[in-house]
């Protein structure tokens, strides 16, 4: 089984990014979906890995990946929650 990863950073001046990251983890925790939090502030290689998987050199957290499959960013995550398609979005279905 692939590991669901949420790329995030505690080091940001953006309240919006902090809020988005905590909302993603809160929803996943609330649905008992296991995930690994990847702190991109610890290592530039992790930031580059996140951006490569997202296919966007300017991607910012939170970004969600399941194994080698890119799921999406915060906006796509919220859309999936609202449309009740979170399992499919996270490539768990």
Instruction: Please give the residue range of the domain that contains residue 60.
Output: 4-90
Give the pLDDT band (50/70/90) at residue 2: confident
Integer Rg of the chain from CA? 12
Q: Name the token pair of 48.
A: 């580059």
pTM tops 0.85, yes or no = yes
Has residue 1 got a pLDDT over 70?
A: no
- Residue 24 CA to residue 63 CA, distance in Å, equals 10
- Residue 93 CA to residue 84 CA, distance in Å, equals 12
Angle at 44 between CA 42 and CA 45, to 5 degrees: 105
Kindly report the CATH number assigned to the domain that includes residue 26.
3.40.30.10
Domains in the chain: how many in total?
Answer: 1
């Amino acid at each position: 089984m692939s590991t669901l990863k949420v790329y995030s950073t505690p080091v940001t001046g953006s309240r919006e990014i902090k809020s988005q990251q905590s909302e993603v983890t809160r929803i996943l925790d609330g649905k008992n979906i296991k995930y690994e939090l990847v702190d991109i502030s610890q290592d530039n290689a992790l930031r580059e890995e996140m951006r490569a998987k997202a296919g966007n050199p300017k991607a910012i957290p939170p970004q969600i990946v399941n194994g080698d499959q890119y799921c999406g960013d915060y906006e796509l995550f919220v859309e999936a929650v609202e449309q009740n398609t979170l399992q499919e979005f996270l490539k768990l279905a």
